[in-house]
Each structure stands twice: as structure tokens, then as C-alpha cells.
Structure 1
Amino acid sequence: MTNSRRTFAIISHPDAGKTTLTEKLLLQGGAIHLAGQVKARGAARRARSDWMKIEQQRGISVTSSVMTFERADADGNVITFNLLDTPGHEDFSEDTYRTLTAVDSAIMVIDAAKGIEPQTRKLFEVCRLRSVPIITFINKVDREGRACFDLLDEVADMLALDVCPMSWPVGMGGLFQGIMDLESGRVSRPEGNSKEFLGKVDEDADLPEEVAEEIELAKIGYPEFDLEAYRGGDLTPVYFGSALKNFGVIELIEAISAYAPPPRPQPADGGEVTPDRKDVTGFIFKVQANMDPQHRDRIAFMRLVSGTFNRGMKLTPSGLGKPIAVHSPILFFAQDRELADTAEPGDIIGIPNHGTLRVGDTLSEKNDVRFTGLPNFAPEILRRVALRDPTKTKQLRKALDDLSEEGVIQVFYPEIGAQWIVGVVGQLQLEVLISRLEAEYKVEAMLEASPFDTARWITGDAKALRDFADFNKMNLAKDRDGDPVFMAKSAWDVSYQQERNPDLTFSGTKER
């Protein structure tokens, strides 16, 4: 059963067409019947995978979403696709990193006109940190853009990987005529997305001479596709297309079905856990509150690693220590939900709960495994939170705890001083925080400058920790787990304290 799953993420910088591609993949897979266009007007403007108010207002994705669809492969076997749409903005790279822990491969979407942008590089680095195999989809080839060879060279330079073009635009911009499959010689034309076999390009009179030469150069100048090299993270196959015009999307689905790896082993204490292990294991990589604001729901997203899950099964969360019955597991089909009676390794299920499950929790039948590799990262921006209405302190505490659990922010409670501090990677996260505080929790708050520049988690000998705390109370806080955090005014401050306290570790990451 595990070979019938393809669990993958879509990543890109903003405006590359990631959300549009996501919706066309869902459309081709039958999960939705009408793809919402981000640039449309009125109600149609709401993309199906962007459910949050601020996403619908701005036309961008700021949180990861999960969608499932099925499609038959070339041999008629039904493949279940678990698609995770990630935030495109670099300010949400931590959420993207956690999402990548739950997938077996990724599609990187690149705008043919813009090429590689600085934030694209950051997303690629995140992907490489997770050793996730990448398929590259160069989008918007129906518009005027950069030369194909320049784009391929940029991808190779950024990834430090071999690139292998699997298809090629036959004319671009105003001359756009279609996409050629380099292996078979078929051309998919924009009109009706039909396919025509052209044979060898040097014998085909329908192709302009310069186009035929370019295709020959692409076939000769780049390595042939190697499945093991791709799955090992040493090569990226490259496809060209236009998500908006639903062009090249079917070829991309076929590539995911044929080449993307089935569920892979996951790292854990004591060694990897393989999909063929008989008992059920999985881990929580995301928690989302208020997906349905009318019901104040809270969904924990679990990646199933091994075993066959059945609805009603009792699993033990590592953070709780006692088993819970999972009565209402959810599968996501765009904005629709269905109860999941069963799930196999690679599947993503949503578990409704009221704070029982947290990001990083392992769920298992035997409670004898702990999955690893879901860290928090030290924030790059720190701000104090000030309430406009001081009577809303309790609501603010609840909101900050919820949003920090989701990964929208990190929250720190100073040992001295009443104002709580939030930490984020980028400015846009602060805008999302203020928007969601007001929309979902009815809390109006302001953000003020913080005297601190960064934060580090402190670990070490208990006596050394007490001695350090006695002399540094003004710079100490606790995170939402109650773990000690050193609030530093500069990077130099961190280095200075580390040098003075060799028995302590000042860490920029913390395993969740």
C-alpha cells in the first residue's frame, strides 16, 4: 500500500504561481471542480487552498495547507497524492521547514520571467537541509521571460545539483507554441492541451530551425534523467509550463506519480522508523487553530509513518503519556473535510483536539518511539506586546500560546517585567499576528520596540543555570514550555556570555 502514496510539498517565492499550480493539480485530480483564481474579483478571488482572511485579502499564502486527491497512473493503478502547500514568503520559512519534515519530495516553482530571487534561494536552502528530492517546475513560460538555458544554469548554481530538462518550450512569449517531451518527441499544444508525436526534431519541418537547435543542445548538454540520482538529492528534473493556462500540469502529475519517492523512513531516537513497521506511528508537524472560526476548532496535523491507522484507534502522544482515542480523524480535500476511516504510511490526517497535541509530539500504539527533527529557530525580530484594553490579559495569553504552538510566532515571558515578548523571523509574521489577534480572539494589541535583539535557549548543569540566573534575571525569560531563555541585546552579548559560562550551552535551535 505504501507505494501508492506520494506525499509532496510545493514551495516557491511569492507570485511564482504556486497557489495557482496547487489548484490546477487539485482540479486535475478531481478534488475540486472549479479552480479559484487569486487575481479574480469578488468571491472568486479566494483561492481554495488559502482559507485565512489575510491570505484572501492579500492573495498570498501565509500558512501551510494540506490537500488530498487521487489519480490513476500510466498502468491504471490509483495513486493517492498528499499535497502540502507551503507559505511562499521567506518570513515563514520556519513553517516551511516543519512542513518539509512531513513530505517525501517537493516541487519548486520558478517564475520564468523573474528567475531565481533571493528568497527563492532561502527556500531551496531549507529544502536542502531536509534532503528532500526536488522537481523543478518553471512556470509562466507563455510570457516573455529569460532564456531557458539561463534559467537552468541558475537552478544548477543555486542547488549545486545536476539539472535535467524533461520538457522544453517550443517558442516562448508571443511565439509560444507548446511544450515538447524531450524523451518521446511529443508536443503538448495550448489549444486543448493535445499531444502530437513529432519524431526527431531535426527531421521536423514544423519547428523553426533555431528551436530545433535549442532542443538538441538541451538534450546533449545536460545529463539524462537518473531516478536514483534524483531520489538521492543529486539531480533535479525540470519541467516547463503555465499553471494559469493549465498547461504542463498533467505532465507534472505524471512525473510525481512515476518518479517521486513513496513514503520514506523517518528519523527517530534509536534509529529510523520504516513504513513497513507493523504498528502505527506518526508525528505532529503542524497545529492550526480556528480554521473554522465559528467553532473555535484546533486541528493537529499528523504524518503517518508506519502501520495502518483505523478510526477510533488509541494512540499515545509522547507529550501526554497516556493513550487517547482518535475518533474523528480528518482528510482534507481543498476546503472540504471528510472523516478518515483508514490511513496508510505517507498520509496526512487532521486530529481535532483542545490543546492535547502539540507540534513535535509522536503518536504511537506502543509508546516506544520518539521522532526527531522538528526544531524551533531563534527569532530574528523581537517585539513587546501591549494591550489596548488591559482587561484582555487572559485572552492575550491564550492567543499567544495558541499562535506560538502553530509556529506563527514564538512567545517569551520575562522573569522581570509584565510585558510579554514575541519573536518572529520576518516582519510579515507580525502583521499576521495583529490581524489574527483581532479577527480570531477579539484582542486589540500594539507592538513596541524590545530592548533585546535575539534569544538563545540555555541548557546545562543545574547549579550553573542557577548561578547564571542569579546574575542575569533582567535578561532571562521562559518560553511557552517553561524552558529558560537568554534574551540578548546583540550577537556579541551571546558570545560574551558563552565565553564566561563554559558549562552552559546557548542554542539557536530547540527540538520541539
Structure 2
Amino acid sequence: MVFAQPQPAHSLGPISCLQRFQSTAAGDPTDVNRLEHLRNIGISAHIDSGKTTCTERILYYTGRIKEIHDVRGRDGVGAKMDSMDLEREKGITIQSAATYASWGDNNINIIDTPGHVDFTIEVERALRVLDGAVLILCSVSGVQSQTITVDRQMRRYNVPRISFINKMDRAGANPFRIVDQLRNKLKLTAAAVQIPIGAEDQFQGVVDLVRWKAYYNEGDSGENFVTKDIPEDLMPLATEKRMELIEQLANVDDEIADIYLMEEVPTTEQFMKAIRRATIDLKFTPVLMGSAFKNTAVQPLLDAVIDYLPNPMEVKNTALDIKDNEAPITLSPFSNQPFVGLAFKLEEGRYGQLTYVRIYQGTLKKGSFITNVKTGKKIKVPRLVRMHAADMEDVDELGAGEIGAVFGVDCASGDTFTDGTLQYSMSSMFVPEPVISLALSPKGKESPNFSKALNRFQKEDPTFRVHVDAESKETIISGMGELHLQIYVERMKREYNVECVTGKPQVAFRETITQPAKFNYTHKKQSGGAGQFGRVVGHIEPVVAGDDEDDLEDKNASQFENRVIGGNIPTNYIPACEKGFRDGLEKGPLIGHPVTGIRMVLEDGAAHAVDSSELAFRIATKNAFTEAFAKAKPTIMEPIMNVSISAPVEFQGAVIGGLNKRKGTVVDTEVQEDYFNVIADVPLNDMFGYSTELRSATQGKGEFSMEYKEHQAVQTFVQEQLIQDYKQKEAAKK
């Protein structure tokens, strides 16, 4: 099961006072106090919703940076969290960046994640180690395709979230429509805890429905935070939305339900405790609003992070005890316990490998020895730092619940470290399969930097794969999208001085069957001395997906089943039969792409006392599979992408016409004032060069994002064309 559901990173359940008391009893009072004032949060959203801009303001108001800079780097400096030159040039986040800040007596570890689907692994591994998250939405676009992906990732790791509707200064801003989208599209129990004072270019501040006050930002950078009484003209809307908040909370919290039934209004303290309880129990998401770019209402967002998101003691983290047959163990979030930490992200820094570590239990000290559970290697921690984007600050030790980084430790992403006394392993994270490949070759003479760069990128990014094609001897790189691979090619040129030439993008086709077929194959070879003999009988059939719609592995994995009885095939040859089946899956007979979704059932066979061998049965099974495959109505599957496009209404006809031309199926369209959104399923093979076409069709005003949805059978004429092209290519090699 890919989705790590049997062993989630957090299994957040309601934490009773008794549990809380028992858990705090294990730590000393100073440590408990430190943990109560610690938050680990991620900032996630669709592309261009303002994540990095928001993080920039958070750093400014918490005093971590002295001045605010522009995300696109137009001021020559660029945002603090986008430290890579490429990020500043393109105005996008490519790598998630970690920092920490203080707000009042509280410390906050923050990870700013990319919004682009091509860098989805960055969001995945950040949410794997965080206790809470801020989901940012645009006040005009609302819930978009990548918002849905981020929501799925938050649910996968049981991460409580608060939602922040950003860009309230934009024309067409409508926060209450976005709250409805959170309820309808993401199926969340959500309610606004603020209402805006003015909107679009008149946006001035927010009314807090919990504290019943109005907040304004004054000063050049919004640093003066002013509290006033609620304006008279907003009283009816504020009262209405407060009632809506009480109703939504009453659905998920018993205490508020009692107050609601008695037709009373909760006190500020009752409100805050109920919102915190429901948010941590994953039953509710409070919705805040503001404009990070216009420096408005970011301070209340920081207050909400402290008020409503959990501290490390309120999150249940589970590890697997390797000594005890991988039994789940609940970790204790205190510094006086034996050390357990997870390496969740790697970077090649100026001083060697930089490994980001989340400490779940115990203390990590500079100069101490830690053990990599996977390899059993004992390693000394030479240098320990806290990250502040690209800057780092040396520290002597980090306690439980903290996020830091170590230098000079050789490990892979996802490795668990302990102090050597425990054999615990943290559960792994979900890594999506690549959907697109490119042939890559260095311009001119190949230098050692070419393979050095590829090795480093593979180690850092689990979704970036490299292999050498056995026949063409070309180096093939695979990833999550065109932009993903472009960025790596560009980084090779900048960071390693290796200019590369890329071939035409290759789509990750798959081959499968649509009906069962029997096989009865005998492999024999006699050439003097001991020969080869192996006979296999059985059938192949398509794998039927599980009931769970997320059960992608069931649908795509191929399975081998042994039903041979009576010893017709000696048991020591069965693994060789399975290897033969796996050999056949590697390269399909139709177009040479991998085969998926097939179950091979071995029912009978025969062996020879002298001539049978593992090799004979391996060859027999592979040939039997190829023979049966041809009889089982084989088909080619192609990746279908979920494409989300946003453009001005006047270009709607041109955009939908363009999608039809690319064999797209429109799933949903929505018009919002002068913009429209369309969601369509389009084959990836037909999406190449779409960005240029969309720009020219919409005068540069349209934007789109896409993510992998599933593999579907190609149309018959496409299949015939693909097979013909493959045969011509194979004939040309001979």
C-alpha cells in the first residue's frame, strides 16, 4: 500500500485531559513549558497564492528580517525563502525552505513549500514531519487543482490546518465564496473566524469574530497593529457570520453544541478552546483572511497559529519497533527520552551534505554519536544548525519536537536515526511515480560532473529518476513534469557547468491486458550434456482494483500466484518462475514499455530430473507470459493529466477548442466575474507545447497547471500508430 495508511505519520485522535496529564508527566516542567510554546508549521497552497510573500511578512513581523523584499526579485534581492537564483528569476518556489521565528513567548518552525505540482515531493516530505499547516487560498481563484492535491497530502499525514484567504486586495475578491468551496469541494467543516473591512482596493483590515474586535495595519509595512471597535455598518454582517461560526462549531464540538441549544453566545475563551479542540481533532478548519502583499492582517494569522494549531505534545507520532516485528510504538515528545529523529530532506551544501532532521524524541547534541537504523552505522554529529532559508545558525543541541539540520552525515532521505539503544524506524512517505522522461546528453565531451550532478539530484529528490537505456545507451531522466526536468537541466548548467542537450519528451506509457488468457509452454534445449527443460501451465488475468479509490497500488501492481500442487514443479524452482514473470513485465511486447496490472497464476508444470534448472524455468515462464500476453487482448495505457486552466472569459471558446483538439474531456467549468476556470482530463502525450499555445490564445493572460490522475487505455488508432513507430525503430536498429 503506497499511501502509508497502515502506519500514518500522525494518528491524531482527541487527546483527553488524562492522556495529556500522563504525557506531560513524562517530561520535566522546563521541557513541557518549551514544548507548549513550540509550533511546527508548513505553508502550502496552489501556485501563485502568495505562500512565499506571506512567509516573508511573517519573518518581518517576527523580527527575523529587517526589510521586506519582492518575490520575483525585481528589487535585486528577492524573498528570503527563495534563496536559489532560479527561484528568484522565475518567481516560483522550487525547494521547500525551513526557518524559525519567535512570536511573543512562542517559537515557530516554518517550512515554505512549492505550489507547483512538479515539486509535489517537497510538500509531501514537509507535511510528513510537521504538526500543523496553513493552507493559503487566493480570494479570487479559491480552491484550485493543486489546493485539492495539498488537501489530500494533509489528510494522508493527518495534519490539522488553518486556512488563510490571501489577496483580499484583488479585484473580484470574495472570501465567503471561498469558504463555501472549502465546504463543497474539499468537504471540510470550515467557517470564517474573521470578516473583511472593505474589499478589493478598499480592503483595510479584518473583524475578529472570536475576540469581537476590528484590526487594522498602519505604517509603511503594516508594522503598527491597531485594535479598534467594530465599525457600525459591519455589525449586521459580523453578527450573521458569528452565528454561522457557532453553528459550524456546534456540529463538531459538544460544548459549543450545548451553548448553541441554549441560544447563548460563547465567551472568547470558550470559542478559542473549542476551535483549538476541533482543529487538532481534524474536525474543523478556521478561516482567516488578509493580504500579505499589502501587509494587512498577517499578525492575526500568527496569533491563530499559536492559538489553534497543536504543539508537539498534542500530536501522536508512531514508530515501528524493528526488534519487535515492526510493532507500532507511540513516541514520547520529551528531551529526556532516548533519541529518535527522521532525516526528511537532503541538500548538497557548500560544506557537504546538509540533512534536515525532525527530532521526535530525545535530544540531538553536537559531537554526540547517532545510529542510522537502516544501515546500522554509527555516526558522529560534527555540526548542528538551525536553518533560516539559505543561512544557518550553529547550535549545540536541539530538543524533542525541533527541526534542524546536520552536516557531514551520509544518509538517504527517509532514514531514521536513534541513539543506538532503540531499533525504531519511522514509517515511510508516499513517493509518486514519474510520468515524463527525457533523453539527456552533455554537449561536447562528457565530464565527471555530469554523473556527479545526476547522482546528487537523485539522492535529494526521490521523484527524479535516472537510468541508462539498455539498447540506445542513452541517459534517460524521469520526473513529474516538463518544468521539473527543465529545472534540473538548468541547474546542471549553473551549478556544475555542464550544458546538456535533451531529446523529445517521452511519456510513461504502460502495457496491460483486458481479458484472461491461458498458457501451456515447454522450454527444452538439448545440446550435448545436460540440457534445459521446464514446462509451465496456467493463466494470466487483469488485476481488479481494490474498493478504495486511493488504492493505486492494487490497480497497477502485478502479482504472481503459485497454485501448483503435487510437486509437479519442485518448490525450489517457483522463485525462478516468478523472476521470469518479472522479466516479462520489464519490457512489454507491444512498444517496449513496462507492463502493469497483470496477475499470473501458475497451476501446473513438469520438470526433468537432470535437465531442469532455475534458468530453464525462468526462460519458460518469460516465454509463456509473452505468448499469453498476445492472446489476452493487450492494450497500451497512457497517463491522463488533470488540467486546470484559468483565463479571462472572452477567451473561453478558444481555450475549450484547444482542449478538444488535444483529446481533452472537460470535467468542470466555472465562471467567476470576468475569469473562468475549466478542469479537463487530457492525455499527457497531447500536452506538450501547451503553455505556448495557451499564451498565444489568451494574449498571455491564461495560466494552467496539471497533475497526474491515472493511466487509461489509448484510442485504437493511437495504439496502432505507437506499435508501428516502435516496430520501425526496432527495425532501424538491426
Identify the residue that residue 331 of structure 2 maps to in structure 1.
273
Aligned match of 1:362 in 416, 420, 443?
Answer: 416
- 1: CA distance between counterparts of 2:507 and 2:288? 48
How far did residue 284 of structure 1 move? 0.8
How far did residue 39 of structure 1 move? 4.2
Aligned match of 2:278 in 229, 251, 256?
Answer: 229
How far did residue 152 of structure 1 move? 0.6
Aligned match of 1:453 in 509, 513, 523?
Answer: 509
Aligned match of 1:60 in 78, 88, 92?
Answer: 92
What letter is aligned with 2:444?
D
How far did residue 350 of structure 1 move? 1.1
How far did residue 398 of structure 1 move? 2.2
How far did residue 181 of structure 1 move? 0.8
Identify the residue that residue 51 of structure 2 maps to in structure 1.
18
- 2: CA distance between counterparts of 1:152 and 1:451? 38
What letter is aligned with 1:252?
L
Aligned match of 2:235 in 176, 192, 212?
Answer: 212
Residue pair 2:275, 2:308 contacting (<8 A) in 1 also:
no
Identify the residue that residue 304 of structure 1 maps to in structure 2.
359
- What's the C-alpha RMSD, in Å, of the aligned pairs? 2.8
Deviates more, 1:303-312 or 1:171-180: 171-180
Identify the residue that residue 412 of structure 1 maps to in structure 2.
467
Identify the residue that residue 593 of structure 2 maps to in structure 1.
489
Residue pair 2:97, 2:112 contacting (<8 A) in 1 also:
yes
Instruction: Render the CA deviation track for 1:357-412: whole Å, top value 9, x for unaligned.
Output: 110100110241011132322111122222323522x4322222211221161223
Identify the residue that residue 343 of structure 2 maps to in structure 1.
284
What letter is aligned with 2:227?
E
Identify the residue that residue 479 of structure 1 maps to in structure 2.
none
Identify the residue that residue 213 of structure 2 maps to in structure 1.
186
How far did residue 169 of structure 1 move? 0.4
- 2: CA distance between counterparts of 1:140 and 1:377? 31
Identify the residue that residue 452 of structure 2 maps to in structure 1.
398
SS of equivalent residue, structure 1 residue 443: coil
Residue pair 1:32, 1:334 contacting (<8 A) in 2 also:
no
What letter is aligned with 1:253?
L
How far did residue 300 of structure 1 move? 0.9
User: Where does structure 1 lack aligned partners over 5 or more consecutive residues?
Assistant: 73-77, 477-486
SS of equivalent residue, structure 2 residue 425: coil
**Closer/same/farther in 2, CA of residues 474 and 273 from structure 1, 3 Å limit:** same
Residue pair 1:8, 1:103 contacting (<8 A) in 2 also:
yes
- 1: CA distance between counterparts of 2:592 and 2:107? 47
SS of equivalent residue, structure 2 residue 286: strand
Matches within 5 A, 1:156-175: 156-175=183-202
How far did residue 251 of structure 1 move? 0.9
State percent identity of aligned pairs.
Answer: 25
Residue pair 2:188, 2:285 contacting (<8 A) in 1 also:
yes
Matches within 5 A, 1:34-433: 34-39=67-72, 41-44=74-77, 46-72=78-104, 78-192=105-219, 193-198=224-229, 206-208=231-233, 211-222=234-245, 223-224=248-249, 225-263=274-312, 264-269=315-320, 270-271=327-328, 272-276=330-334, 278-290=337-349, 292=350, 297-353=352-408, 356-365=410-419, 366-392=421-447, 394-407=448-461, 409-433=464-488
SS of equivalent residue, structure 1 residue 429: helix
- 2: CA distance between counterparts of 1:451 and 1:195? 55
- 2: CA distance between counterparts of 1:112 and 1:86? 20
Q: What TM-score comes out, normalization by structure 1 length?
A: 0.85
How far did residue 19 of structure 1 move? 0.4
- 1: CA distance between counterparts of 2:85 and 2:72? 15
1:442 aligns with 2:497: yes
How far did residue 138 of structure 1 move? 0.7
What letter is aligned with 2:240?
L
How far did residue 302 of structure 1 move? 0.6
Identify the residue that residue 15 of structure 2 maps to in structure 1.
none
Residue pair 1:114, 1:145 contacting (<8 A) in 2 also:
no
Which of structures 1 and 2 has the bigger CA Rg? 2
How far did residue 433 of structure 1 move? 0.9
- 2: CA distance between counterparts of 1:232 and 1:501? 48
**Closer/same/farther in 2, CA of residues 139 and 280 from structure 1, 3 Å limit:** same
Residue pair 1:326, 1:351 contacting (<8 A) in 2 also:
yes
How far did residue 475 of structure 1 move? 6.3
Instruction: Render the CA deviation track for 1:217-265: whole Å, top value 9, x for unaligned.
Output: 2111232453222112121011111112322111111111122111133
What letter is aligned with 1:326?
V
1:9 aligns with 2:42: yes
How far did residue 96 of structure 1 move? 0.8
- 1: CA distance between counterparts of 2:378 and 2:167? 49
Instruction: Render the CA deviation track for 1:3-25: whole Å, top value 9, x for unaligned.
Output: 23200100012221110111111
Residue pair 1:49, 1:334 contacting (<8 A) in 2 also:
yes
- 2: CA distance between counterparts of 1:462 and 1:3? 54
Identify the residue that residue 545 of structure 2 maps to in structure 1.
none
- 2: CA distance between counterparts of 1:179 and 1:488? 59
- 1: CA distance between counterparts of 2:601 and 2:438? 27
- 1: CA distance between counterparts of 2:510 and 2:80? 37
Q: What TM-score comes out, normalization by structure 2 length?
A: 0.60
**Closer/same/farther in 2, CA of residues 184 and 280 from structure 1, 3 Å limit:** same
Instruction: Render the CA deviation track for 1:178-210: whole Å, top value 9, x for unaligned.
Output: 211112221112334443342xx6xxxx432xx
User: Where does structure 2 lack aligned partners over 5 or more consecutive residues?
Assistant: 1-30, 250-273, 321-326, 512-555, 561-573, 604-620, 623-638, 640-734
What letter is aligned with 1:237?
P
What letter is aligned with 1:425?
M
Aligned residue pairs, count: 472
What letter is aligned with 1:313?
S
- 1: CA distance between counterparts of 2:302 and 2:277? 19
Deviates more, 1:102-111 or 1:137-146: 137-146
Residue pair 1:381, 1:453 contacting (<8 A) in 2 also:
no
SS of equivalent residue, structure 1 residue 62: coil
